[in-house]
Every structure is written in C-alpha cells, then in structure tokens.
Structure 1
Amino acid sequence: MDLQSLKIFQTVAKLGSISQAARELQYAQSNITMKIQQLESDLQTTLFYRHNRGTALTAKGIMLLAYTQKIFNLIEETKSVMNDDQTPKGQLTIGSMETTAAVRLPALLSRYHKDFPDVDLTIKTGPTKQNIQGILQYELDGAFVAGPIGHPELIEKEVFEEELVLITDSIDPPISSFEDFQTRTLLVFHNGCSYREKVEQWLQKEGLIPNKVMEFGTIDAIIGCVEGGLGISMLPQSVVAKNVQNGTLRQYSLPNEYGKVKTVFIYRKDKYLPASLKEFINMLDEVKSLI
C-alpha cells in the first residue's frame, strides 16, 4: 500500500467511476483498475462494488476512505508545520451560517483582512450541519455554527447569542395568537439549518402544523417573500431589525427555549493551528463588541 494507490482509491471513491478517475488523474483506465485490485489484494478485502453505472464503496471501503483522508490531511498538516514561521499567511477557509456572515462578520473580516493581508481568507456559507461536516472532514479550518455542539473532536468558543423572532409582512392584520400561524406558509432554509430545526421543534411542541412549507437558499429570498405576503419565517432579530424598523416586517417574540440561540466558533482539536487561524481566534475575543 503506497500513497499513489491511496490517491487513486480516493479519486475513484469521490467520482464513483474508474473511467472518470482515469480522466482526472490522466492515467490509463487499465492502470487504475490494476492499482485498485492490487490494493484490495494487499488489504485482503473488497473496497468497491462494481455495477453498470460505476462503483460504490463497500463498508470496508468507507472505512479506508476515512483513514485515507486522515493520511493526506496529516501530510498536508506536516508540510504546513514545517513551513510555518508563525507569520499569518496562506489559505484560511472559514465556514459560516449565511445569517451570521451577512450581519455579524463584516466588521471582523474587514479588520482581519486589514491586519493580515497575506492571508487568503475564504468564507463558505452553509447550514450548521454542513459546516460541522466541513470541519470534521478537514474541508474548513473553522466555522461559525449554532451551538452548543458538544462533539468530542471539536473545540467550540461561544461568540454571541442570537434572538430568534417570528416575522410576518406588515400588510395583513397582526397575528393575535400563535394558532394563526397554521394558516400561513412557513418559509425556511434547507434541511440542516439550526433555525429551521428550532421553529419546527417549537411548532411541534405547540401542536401547530403550518399550512405549507417552502424552502429557500438565501436570506434575501426569505425576507423578500415574507414582505410580499407569501408566508412567515423565523430569523435572528439582528437580520431583520432594519426591515422591522422600516415597517416592512412585523416581528413576534418566542419563548426563551426557542428564541435564544448561541453562535459558537468551532475547529478541530487534533489539527495543528497555523498562525492565520490562531490570529483569527484571537481576534474573535478582541472584537466581540463589533459582532
């Protein structure tokens, strides 16, 4: 078993096809097949199911893929450690919930970019579950998610607390009781969004079933559709404050159990912290008042 064989295995697993892996790696398809067969022989197990649409990992293949990712991540981390002179530089990829990135992070990111211009900072937005997986799979260096998480492989730092509010348009009559929500369409982010989970838990406890549920991918789409009278939603008060102040939205408070959500910054316990990430974490403590 060598690194080249593991790289070939990883590529076939990612693409689900020996022919596609051959094209990506610019190898002959027969060489890819031979390497996979040799790896299976060395490990004395079957790594892939072959079918007419390509390949699928066996249970042992799934296990090997996890170890393969760790091996290559460790190699990259070793390179980073050897090249790290404690000067913040290079790539830094941070995940964030979209609402946090839109409202809370601009001041922090602006200051970080000004102080450390040699860092190639990338922000990737997505729901909490997606960001957690990004950290666990070494795709993200850190992420802002709804907490607490309590994962044994992650460190989490509380950054701030959001107040979630229910929002409606300002055209229709105000809602007099929570039962009125049953007649409205519920506008939410896709599955994996912690705010969606909160509103669904609250509605379930109250025994309320929305008339219809519609999924959206952006904050602006949800806010615009609520303002237009399409339905109701639940978002952080910091996100909708201007709209409420301008009179285009109405907001309704929720019980603390569902209306308060902590936002935490997470990163792996076992990963070496480059200077770029150390400074980002340090800056979180310095600029909490700005976010």
Structure 2
Amino acid sequence: MNTNDLKIFEAVAETGSFTKAAAAMFTVQSNVTARIKSLEEEFGAELFSRTSRKVELTAAGKKLMQYCKQISNLIAEAKSHVQSSTKVSGSLKIGCIETTMALKVPEMINHFEEHFPDVELEFKSEMRNALINDVLNYNLDAAFVSAPINVTGLNQIRIKEEQLVIVTASEGPKIEELLTKQPVKIVVFGHGCLFRARLESWLSSKGIVHYKSTVLNSIEGIINFVEAGLGMTILPEEVVSQYYAGRKITSNALDKQLGTMITVLIFKQDKSQSTALRAFIDMYFSHNKSKITAPLDEAKSASKRGKLNLKPHF
C-alpha cells in the first residue's frame, strides 16, 4: 500500500464510480480495480458495495476514509512545515446554501485571499442536509448551514443571525389578498431548502395546506417569478435589500420564530486538521468571538494572490 493507493480509494469514494475515478486519477479502470482489490486484501475487509448503478463505501470503507483524510492532512502539514514554517497552503472545499454563495462568498474570498494566498478555495452550493452529509463523509472540509445542528462528530461556529422576509410582487395584490386566492402560489427551491420549509410552515400557521409550488434552482429565477406575480417566496432580508432593491418586489415581515435564521460553520471534530482548514476556521473564530469545542492554532499570513474555484451545484 502507498499514498497513491489511498488517493485512488478516495477518488472512487468521491465519484461513486471506478470509471470516473480512473479518469480523475489519469489511469485506466483496470488499475483502479486492482488497487482497490489490493487494499481490501490488505485490510481484510470489503471497502465498497458494488451495484449495477453505483459504488458506495461500506462501514469499513467509511472508517478507512476517515484515516485517509487524516493522512492527507498530515502529509500536507508536513510539506507546509518543511517548505516554510510561515506558509499556509493546500486546498479547501467549502459548502454553503445558495444565498450564502451569493451574499458571503465574495467577502470570504477577498478576506481569505489577502491573508492566505497559497490556499486554493473551492465552493459548492447544495441543500442543507446534503452539505451536512458531505462534511461527515469528508467530501467537504466545512460548510455554512442553518442552525440548529445536533450531529455527533461535528463542531460548529455561530456566524450570523439573519432576518427572513416574505417577498411578493409590489405591483400585485397585497399579501392578505394573495392568501385568499386558491390555490396560493409559492416560488421556492426544491425539497430540503430551509426557506421553503419556513414558507410552508407559515402557510400552515395560516390554515393553508394546499398550495401550488413553482420550483426553481436560483435566487435570480425566484426573484423574476415573484416580480412577475407568479407567487410569493421567503428569502433573507439582506439578500433582498442588498441585491434586489430596485426590483418591483415587496418585503413582508415575519414573526421572530419563523423569521430568524442563524448560520453556523460546521466541520469535523477530527484531532488532525489541515493548516488551511484551521486558518479558515480561525478567520471566523477571530471575527465572531465564538466558542468551539476544540482550541485552534493561530495560522500565519502571507502575501496577496490565490487560486479560487467556485462550483455551484444547487
């Protein structure tokens, strides 16, 4: 077994396919199959369950994945310390919901790029539950999600409290009148979206259980549909006021229980964390004065250029 075997193992786990893993590792599928077989023989356990549709980690495979990530972090840490005791480098995969991608990612990039130019950042937007699973399964280093989070194995930092508002067309009927029309029309993200869940809960509190949903996958699309009078939605007030102030839409206040959203940064409780991840966490730890369950090392800063890769997968 060598580190390349473990990289091949990680590639299969992340892609869910021997063929895709081979392409990602610039090798042939037969080599991937042989290396995985060799690992399974060495560990004396089946690492993947194979079906005609996909390849998934077994319980043993999930355990090995945890050690793979720790080994990768240790190797990156060793390289960083050997090359320069003040240099923070490597790569980070950070997850967030669509509104965080639109509102906060540019700010994150500017701040982090200034202090840690040798770290490559990759952002991915997804639904909340998918982001949590990706962090637990080491597909993401950290993620911004809505609280509360009570998941074993995760640490969290409170980032921000936001106010949500119901958004309607300013040139259409007022919200009270919209609620009397049958069916009530809403414009939302897919199932699993916090904003959709809050809007459905609000409608339920009004005694409305039947409504017509138009599902879109972008904030811009939702705003366009709402402005055109095709339904109402819920979004963070800051997103609406900062990015869509000139649009023909109206923000309607919600009560505190449904109208408050707290965003937290979640990450694994692993004892071994990369310097890059600790630097990213420390950025929020320092700015938000939040308490987390494990102490963080203070990362060093450097000069002014970085590599960034934004990947919306919402």
Is the pair's TM-score, using the shorter chain for normalization, greater than 0.5? yes
Matching residue of 2:191: 191
Q: Structure 2 vs 1, CA of residues 281 and 250 (structure 1 numbering), >3 Å: closer, same or farther?
A: same
Q: Aligned residue for 1:203?
A: 203
Write out per-residue CA displacement over residues 198-233 of structure 1, whole angstroms, 9 at most, x where no aligned residue.
222332343313531122111111111111222111
2:78 is aligned to 82
Residues 253 and 71 (structure 1), Cα distance of their counterparts in 2 relative to 1, 3 Å cut:
same
Write the distance in 2 (CA, Å) between the matches of 1:274 and 1:91. 9
Unpaired runs of 5+ residues, structure 1, are none
Partner residue of 1:66? 62
In the TM superposition, residue 243 of structure 1 has moved relative to its aligned partner by 6.5
**What's 1:280 paired with?**
280
Corresponding residue for residue 114 of structure 1: 114
Q: Is the 8 A contact 2:77 2:275 kept in 1?
A: no
Paired residue for 1:138?
138
Q: How does 1:243-254 map to 2 (within 5 A)?
A: 245-246=245-246, 248-254=248-254
Worse-matched range after superposition: 16-25 or 261-270: 16-25
Q: Secondary structure, in 3 states, of the residue corresponding to 1:230?
A: coil
Per-residue deviation, 1:123? 1.8
Whether 1:156 and 2:156 are equivalent positions in the alignment is yes
- Secondary structure at the counterpart of residue 58 of structure 2: helix
The 1:40/1:276 distance shift into structure 2, 3 A limit, reads: closer
1:223 aligns with 2:223: yes
Q: Distance in 2 between matches of 1:273 and 1:19?
A: 30
Q: Which amino acid aligns with 1:79?
A: I
Which is greater in Rg? 1
Equivalent AA in structure 1 for residue 208 of structure 2 = L
Find the counterpart in structure 1 of residue 241 from structure 2. Answer: 241
The DSSP-based 3-state class of the residue aligned with 2:180 is: helix
Give, as a single letter, the amino acid of the residue that structure 2 aligns with 1:67. K
Residue 26 of structure 1 is matched in structure 2 by: 28
Q: Distance in 1 between matches of 2:238 and 2:125?
A: 18
State the distance in 2 between where 1:270 and 1:218 align: 34
Distance change in 2, residues 1:227/1:17 (3 Å): closer
Structure-2 change in CA distance of 1:226 and 1:22 (3 Å): closer
Cα displacement (A) at 1:49: 6.0
1:246 is paired with a residue of what secondary structure? coil
Q: Is the 8 A contact 1:10 1:68 kept in 2?
A: no
Counterpart position of 1:95: 95
**Closer, same or farther in 2 for the Cα pair 1:66/1:217, shift >3 Å?**
same
8 Å contact 2:19–2:29 — kept in the other structure?
no
Query: What is residue 260 of structure 1 aligned with on the other side?
Result: 260
In structure 2, the CA distance between the partners of 1:229 and 1:243, relative to structure 1 (3 Å rule), is farther
- Structure 2 counterpart of 1:69, which letter? M
Higher RCO (C-alpha under 8 Å, 6+ residues apart): 2
Q: Deviations over 1:34-66 (max 9, x none)?
A: 97499489848796466xx46766xxx621331
- Counterpart position of 2:298: none
Q: Secondary structure at the match of 1:152?
A: coil
Structure 1: how far apart are the matches of 2:47 and 2:198? 42
Gaps of 5+ in 2: 290-314
| TM-score, with length taken from structure 2 | 0.74
CA distance in 1, matches of 2:110, 2:208: 42
Which one has the bigger helix percentage? 1
| Secondary structure at 1:207 match in 2 | coil
Change (3 A) 1:2 1:204: farther
TM superposition shift of 1:149: 0.6
Residue 84 of structure 1 deviates from its aligned partner by: 3.4
SS in 2 for 1:176: helix
Q: Give the TM-score normalised by the residue count of structure 1.
A: 0.80
Secondary structure class of the residue paired with 2:264 = strand
1:1-25 residue CA offsets vs partner (Å, 9 max, x unmatched): 9988877777667667777777875
Helix, strand or coil at the partner of 1:84: helix
